[in-house]
Structure formats: C-alpha cells, structure tokens
Amino acid sequence: MPYTFPVSLAPVSSAFNHSHGGLPWRFLAISTRNVVLVTISPTRNATPNTPQISGARRRWLVPGLEVGLYLGCYLVYWITRGLLFDESAALLNAERVISIERSLGIFVEPAWQSWLVDQGPGLLIFFNWVYIITYWPIILGMGLVLYLHRRTKYYYYRNVLVLNLLLALTFFLLLPVAPPFKSVPGLLDSIQTYGPTFYGSPQMTAFYNTNAAVPSLHFSWTAIFGVLFYRSMTGWRKYLGILYPVLTFSAIVITGNHFILDAAVGGILVALSFGLVEWAQRRGFRLPQELTVRSR
C-alpha cells in the first residue's frame, strides 16, 4: 500500500525508483509552498521473492492444468457413481419419471422409437451416429478451437460447463435414474441393437455412470454449445445453434438413452448455470480463468 507524509523541503517535483530489500519502490515527490508530499509505493510489476516460470515451461503447464481440471471432474463423476444407491433405486426412480411423464402426457419415447423401427434400420442407425458425433467429437473439437483461438470465450464457456457438471452430479448422487432402455419394457438400446456396438459396450460402460439419466449431460452440454454457436455465428449459420441441440434431443430420446424429462431438467440446469456465471460477473466476482502455477 502507498504511504504519504509531508516533508518541508525546497520546491521540488520529481519521481525516481529505488530498490530496497529486493523490492522495487517508487518515490514521488511533489512540492507545494515548500511542503513536499512524498508518496512511497511498490511498483506494479514488483514480484518479490517470486521465481518466474520460463515461457517454454509455461506453454506446457497452463494447458496441462486445464487437462488436469477435466480429469479431476471426470474422477469425481466416476467415483460418485452408485456411491449411495444401487441399480434397484435407479430403476425405481425411472418408474417415477415414467409416471410423471404419463401424467403430463409426454410419455412418447416408445412410440417414437417404434415408428422408426417400422421404417427400417436406416433412420435408427442415423440417429445412433447423431447421438455419438454430437457429443464428445464436437464438444472436444470446439473446446480445443476456442482454447487456441478465442481464449476469453473459452474460459467463459468452460466455467458454465463445469458448473453445470457440478449441479448434475448432485442429481446423479442423490437421485440415480436408469435410462429408458433399461426401464421401459420393449424399448431398445438402439445403438447396441443396430450399431455401432462399440459405443455403450460392456467394456465401455466401466468408464461411465449407466444410471445418470437425469439430467441429461448429453443434452445439457450440446445446449451450452448451441448457445455458443448462436451467439458467435452470423447469418443462417447462427441457427446451427438451435439445430444442434434439437438433433441431440431427438437422438437421446429415439435411441432409448434418455427420457424427455431428462432433457427438460438438463435444460433448466443449463439456464441456471448461465445465470449463475452471469450473476457472478455482474457482482464483480472473479471466476476462474487461466489456471496459474508458481514454481517453488
């Protein structure tokens, strides 16, 4: 902090730098009627006793910390699966979801899939691939593009996405819900039935939570990126921001992976995530941006 005190001297106005105890200080003297106000404060670029990280090392450490953040989130997601409740609780909660949808008149998942089955496997296989491609390939690809070319925008949407995940984890932990293909008689797991069967195979299910239907992260995260596309693109391309989550919604329901209610809850959490990030920014809170590292 700066320190100011009067000193009776001859008229003078000067500024000079000095180093004391390894800390650079700035002295500013301004005289008024032979009384000098002397202000002493550390210079802005003072970094006492803080070793600097080389540029080459920083280029690897900063993106490495971002990767570490995502791996940490995944680890929490994986560790918490089935932590409090077993498969029977997930199936019971799925029956409750079905009951709510029936009461609202939106339990149409079996009818949608049945109609597509009657049309032949072509459309179902198409939606199977939509389910796969609209998730990790696009999300990871666009995340990398943002990180490399639009870093500020990347940090904003990364914060929204991580906050959305934390909110969703609360549901997964306290209210596990089995997917429709497990809980609705006659409904197919269309990906395992028509392919590509590598996705959702028994080997793959060891790495994710099979009872995390509510909310649908698949829909939530594509909706977040849909907002990004709509805000960032111009002309007709901005409407890809609407088409993208709509396609994803169709795929998650038709393939038997999610209920309509799963997507609805996911959408509410997306709105809440954006709202909290915007509120924090307006209130002046500094949300995490570049993850920093200091050498020892």
Residue 226 near residue 177 (C-beta atoms within 8 A): no
pLDDT block averages, 10 residues each, the chain of length 296:
46 45 44 45 47 66 90 95 94 98 98 95 96 96 96 95 97 97 96 95 91 97 97 95 97 98 98 96 76 51
pTM of the predicted protein model: 0.79
For residues 41 and 4, give the distance between their C-alpha atoms in angstroms, rounded to a whole number. Answer: 9
For residues 199 and 125, give the distance between their C-alpha atoms in angstroms, rounded to a whole number. Answer: 12
Query: So what's the pLDDT on residue 290?
Result: 65
For residues 132 and 138, give the distance between their C-alpha atoms in angstroms, rounded to a whole number. Answer: 10
Give the H or E element holding residue 277.
helix 260-282
Query: So what's the pLDDT on residue 16?
Result: 43
For residues 231 and 226, give the distance between their C-alpha atoms in angstroms, rounded to a whole number. Answer: 9
Query: So what's the pLDDT on residue 55?
Result: 66
Query: How many whole angstroms from its chain centre is CA 163?
Result: 6
For residues 257 and 267, give the distance between their C-alpha atoms in angstroms, rounded to a whole number. Answer: 16
